[in-house]
Every structure is written in C-alpha cells, then in structure tokens.
Amino acid sequence: MTTVDRRTMVRRVASIVVGVATAVGIVCGPGADAGAAHDLPRVEGVSVSSKKVPPGGLLLVEADGFYDVPQDYGVTFYFDLAKVELVDEKCADVSGPQNADTPSCEYDNLFLVTTSTVGLFRVAPYASGKIRIDVCADTFVGDRGRGKCKSLTFRIA
C-alpha cells in the first residue's frame, strides 16, 4: 500500500470541495431562494361582456389578479380617455370589498388569494374605430412597478 503525502491529500480534498460548490452553484444558481419571494403580481384571466360595443354603449371587464407574496398590490385599467370612461369599479377578495381608487383596485393580499376587479366602461358617444384596454397588476414596493398585463381590443360598431 502506498502512502499519500499530506500535500496531495489537501489538494484532493480542496478539489472535491470546489467541485461540489461549483455543482451546487450551477444547479441552484445565484440567489435561487430569493427568486420566488420577488415574483411580480399578475393578471391571470380577463372576461368581457362583448368584443363589439356601440358608441355610448357599456362594456363590462372582469380581471382576476394574483400575487405570490403577501404584499400589497393593485390591479389597474389603462385606457384612452378620449374613447372610453371608467364609470364604476368593484374590487373584491375573500375578505370582501376592497379599496377602489379608480382606475385601480388595491389589495392587501394577506391571504394570497385570487382577487376580482370589475370595471364598467362607457364608450364615448362619438368614438369610432377600436378601443384598447390594458389590465395590469402593479406593485407598490419600491421601483418594481408594473407586473403582468393583459391587453383587450374592442371594436366600436
């Protein structure tokens, strides 16, 4: 049996430690545990009352929002004020009605549940062409800003 000198043994152990650390870094990536805690809120689904609306007509838009972390967030409607106005807005989650700051609904998100934001829009009497409404989930933490959005396009007919 051959004996391995001390220097060779230290080199082998060091190379094994470096190899394991590298493998863990490759598999997990930098800050792997922090990614889930910083996901942006998102609009999960949108339903509409119609894809065609007459001038002066009403349009109902319902958006479901979700945020993976227990932090405040909002669901906001973005639209062209020359073609459409937000007449009414309802905000709700499992704890009941929430704060409606038209055109946004603010949710405290303590329960990590899907929220419901409903907007009632009136098309301007002389509007024509198409209307685009963006529904976005926004954060209120630092400069993170807008999360996931869904865009809707309607024809004025």
Within this chain, do residues 15 and 86 fall inside the same structural domain, yes or no? no
Within this chain, do residues 18 and 78 fall inside the same structural domain, yes or no? no
- Structural domains counted in the chain: 2
pLDDT for residue 20: 45
Whether the Cβ atoms of residue 99 and residue 75 lie closer than 8 Å to each other: no
Domain containing 111 equals: 39-156
Amino acid identity for residue 132 in this structure: R
Instruction: Give SS3 for 12.
Output: helix
User: Looking at residues 95-99, what average pLDDT do you find?
Assistant: 71
> Would you report the helix, strand and coil content of the chain in percent, each value rounded to 5?
15, 50, 35
Whether the Cβ atoms of residue 85 and residue 124 lie closer than 8 Å to each other: yes
pLDDT for residue 25: 47
